[in-house]
Amino acid sequence: MKLLVATQNKHKKEEIEAILNPSFEVVTLSDLNDFDEVEETGDSFFENALLKASYYAKKHQMLTLADDSGLCIDALNGEPGIYSARYSGGSDQENIQLVLDKLRDTQDRGAHFTCVLVLYDPSTNAHQSFQGDLYGIIESKPKGSNGFGYDPIFFVPEYKQTLAEMHSKHKNLISHRAIALQALKEALI
């Protein structure tokens, strides 16, 4: 079965394929040469994921999966949250540096990643949502070269590593997106 994943991000495609294969043939917006941007005007991860899923599902008439995810830091009242990808207005490294600067004088380094997936069926206009959370601690400096986004500063105590220090196969088993995708997979089977 074909599944449109509403992303241009090749890392997300790889992660989703690794979890959903062989149940689905994953197609991304890049594969369809679709470079439209859906403005994320929602006030929550769910609202933003639903906006994207419904837009692309209706546009391409395909079962569509969209996600919104981000890092929520306790000491920053949940920031960067839904603004995680564009927190600093710059690159991943600039986002990381902004977080580290804001946490410089605090001992409270608790955080969690949240991922909300929305699966939208354009033939019925029905949707389902799935959420995954991964709890950890923000490191004082980046460690590791795997992963993307905030992975180099997100330390997972149970594994004594940042997400960027983990092999991608291991990360794909424990990440917030993996937890949400596992819930999706179970619901579909």
Residue 47 labeled ligand binder: no
Q: What are the domain boundaries of the chain?
A: 2-180
Query: Using 50, 70 and 90 to split pLDDT, how confident is the model at 27?
Result: very high
Give CA–CA dist 76/87, Å, rounded.
12
Contact yes or no for 5/12 (Cβ under 8 A) = yes
> Residue 17's pLDDT is what?
84
The answer regarding whether domain 2-180 maps to CATH 3.40.50.2300 reads no
Give residue 66's pLDDT band: very low, low, confident or very high (50, 70, 90). Answer: very high
| pTM of the full structure | 0.90
34 annotated active-site? no
* Marked catalytic residue, from 31, 34, 68, 105: 68
Q: Taking 80 as the threshold, does the pLDDT of residue 9 lie above it?
A: yes
171 annotated to bind ligand: yes
User: 189: pLDDT confidence band, cut at 50, 70 and 90?
Assistant: low
Helix (H) and strand (E) counts in the chain? 5, 7
